[in-house]
Structure 1
């Protein structure tokens, strides 16, 4: 798992990259939680997601948003972080140009950034949105949501209350041509304490089902 440094809009960005074993293996970009509340690319959920994708043959990148770790710049309330994510995707596509598919996965703040990136990059065909804070961030830009994906959260989440996530899911489910799957993990809080393994297993099973559908198509 090589450490990588690439250029972003606010200077250098620090990341970890796992190449795919296949020339046309799919790409996955993994986005970490809120930088001002301790979120980094080494967050347990972000770290485990990274390896979940790597095990499935993805070329996968996780990175620190601006101002985190050795990434240059300062927190920019989402706008700059979205630019960082776009630069990260550009970088992976440069080093892995023959990818047959592209996914984005984000946790909490990272889920909000990931969904915005989804709207701007038509090549992203799958997403995993973990504990999106629909109570705090405006997701109305998902009109319509362009790709199918998974929204997964805990029923004991006080940071992203289930009723707010449910409202987001209900809105997205009314759109034709995409399938937004929702999974609720019983007993899990926002940080999935004691439930990280269940979370990652569920995400992995979802990715497997999507990949199998592509193979069968």
Structure 2
């Protein structure tokens, strides 16, 4: 299906790499944590870090939002709406344009959730922000928010295909955070070292 391919290709566009090039920053794959995501852009951005990270975060979220909204507008069946979002998410994790070495997928995951079901997505984003604010550990906030996403979707939408596919995305997000999880278990993870 054309939209699935388009969503994957859009997801494969790295907001972090583009933003860093446009703003004259280093390559996020070669500095900081080596992850092309908003937190690493913040880390390596110096005086431009907050702006660069904000633009990166917005770009990565939009990669999840846009294709899902198109699927909704075309009246796709619910399972296909989430599959389109999952394609964008996979594009971010394994981008064809960057030797299949992408980010950890948090912002794109959040974008997909907001576009699939606004209220459930809003709860996921709120959970992410709340945990990050209270515990000051970015990776832990992402893990908790993504783990609760299928639960929120179940109770708000009741659409089982969304619950199952979101759970699969959560498993992938946990896999991409396996080094962070190891540091969390050892008590070594801090806000500055995450994502």
TM-score, normalization: structure 1? 0.33
The structure where strand makes up a greater share of residues is: 1
The structure where helix makes up a greater share of residues is: 2
Q: Larger RCO: Structure 1 or Structure 2 (Cα < 8 Å, ≥ 6 residues apart)?
A: 2
TM-score, normalization: structure 2? 0.36
